[in-house]
Amino acid sequence: MKIRNIIAVVSGILVSLIIVIIGEAMVHVMNPLPANINIQNKEAFKEFIANAPASLHLIILCNYALACFLGGMVSSALALDKKMNRAMSLGGMFMGVGMFSLISLSHPIWVVICSVFAFLPFSYLGGILGMKMTSTKNKHE
């Protein structure tokens, strides 16, 4: 495996992680935890998540979709070959970690189901855009 392909996937993961971190911080700023919720109390936190407004869950899903889109775009744009495989690998990794997080924190089942349409499809769309960006670049060189 060429080192550039590894760098492509790692770069996509880093971009996605930065987007997720920024998005999670924005969620906490816009929807701060109530004063009576102790984050150390896992059951109370899970109950808060389960009863959180739908808008909070939608923001989280949009954040995951954006992270996978941009990460997939970066991965496929930087990769030398099998560009879509690089983007989808990133989407698969984020789907595994994201599903674990969503399920373990007791998000409503509709959020878990909708998240399936956030990780892989948006990585795929980002991969397509990344491939188009590099094919256009290569045609002009």
What tokens appear for 97 in the block? 């970690």
Total structural domains within the chain:
1
Q: Which domain holds residue 79?
A: 3-140
What would the DSSP string read from start to end of 50-70?
A: HTS-HHHHHHHHHHHHHHHHH
What tens digit of pLDDT does each residue of 92-104 get? 999 999 999 888 8
Question: Which residue has better confidence, 138 or 118?
Answer: 118
pTM strictly above 0.75: yes
What tens digit of pLDDT does each residue of 6-15 get? 999 999 999 9
What tens digit of pLDDT does each residue of 40-82 get? 888 888 888 888 888 889 999 999 999 999 999 999 999 988 9
